A = this chain, B = another copy of it.
């Protein structure tokens, strides 16, 4: 763990299991923490037995007050949040001020998150990445017993070129390529939905590969590409040959289970270096 707390750690919790992992890390390491749970996003299991409060996403003034009142100095943003429309967000005065300044609709996901992190820093918080709390960086090279063959390596190279272009447009992080065909590209639906869709689109012959990388210039403290057991399960159901994820920039959750599941399904999982 590279994180040295300066005061209480605030965990702004989106969906999925990552926020709870951070709570567990804090408990094990004796780090004082407080979870800000987001209505409609956070799994209630995340905050069970943990010091926490619930807050609406659009209620930025309330959120800031809750964090300050609980002595939070450092912040980690973890877990996915379905980006709402302005109407769904119902911004309070503080959120409206922020959004008017940055221009909500002009920004892609990454642009908006970067702007939001700057806002948090101006409010006095130090923002850290979940990877500073978890020992979970994707290593370079094959993880399990399988490695991509020459054919799969070509699909990985093709997918990488496309993922970099998509990332530069702040559209998505993932792409599925089979024998040179782009079966699908990720936008707002996320990698799980992309993989489910590609199960229907696959061609006969050697299966495709999922390539997942961070967006170029991505704010590394939020929304890192993540690979976990479910990624392997869905990739196997889509009859893929393997998964290639950016080494160093991908959160690899439950490494041992990922390796076991990939080996059992006959998939490779490989960390690739991105220039």
Name A's B-contacting residues (CB within 8 A).
Answer: 83-88, 104-108, 154, 158, 161-162, 165-166, 169, 171-172, 178-185, 187-189, 193, 197, 200-201, 203-206
Contact A86 B205 (CB under 8 A): yes
Across the interface, A189 reaches (CB within 8 A) one of B87, B108, B184, namely: B184
Say how many copies of this protein the assembly contains. Answer: 2
Which residues of B have CB within 8 Å of A197? Answer: 189, 193, 197
Checking B162, B169, B188, B205 against A87 with a beta-carbon cut-off of 8 angstroms, the contacting residue is: B205
**A85 & B203 in contact (Cβ 8 Å cutoff):** yes
B154→A165 contact, CB < 8 A: no
Residues of B within 8 A of A85 (CB): 178-179, 181, 203-205
Cα-based distance from A205 to B180 in the complex (angstroms): 38
A145–B189 CA distance with the chains assembled, in angstroms = 33
When chains A and B are docked, how far (Å) is the Cα of A106 from the Cα of B177?
A: 12
Inter-chain CA distance A171–B180, complex, in Å, is 11
Contact of A185 among B105, B107, B185 (CB under 8 A): B185
Complex CA gap A154/B205 in Å reads 42
Query: Contact check: which of B88, B161, B179 meets A205 at CB < 8 Å?
Result: B88
Taking a contact as CB atoms closer than 8 A, the residue among B105, B172, B183 that contacts A188 in the complex is B183
Are B188 and A171 in contact, with the CB atoms below 8 A? Answer: no
Q: Which of the listed residues A84, A184, A187 has the most CB atoms from chain B within 10 Å of its own CB?
A: A187
On whether the beta carbons of A169 and B165 are closer than 8 Å, the reply is: yes
- Of all A-B residue pairs in the complex, the 3 with the closest CB atoms, nearest first, are A105-B180, A85-B203, A87-B205
Q: How far is the CA of A161 from the CA of B204 in the complex (A)?
A: 34
Which residues on B sit within 8 Å (CB–CB) of A205? Answer: 85-88
Kindly report which residue of chain B lies nearest to residue A103, judged by CB atoms.
Answer: B180
Cβ-defined contact, B182 with A185, below 8 A? no
Given A85-B178, A165-B169, A205-B88, A187 and B184 contact (CB-CB distance below 8 Å): yes
Q: Does A108 contact B182, Cβ atoms closer than 8 Å?
A: yes
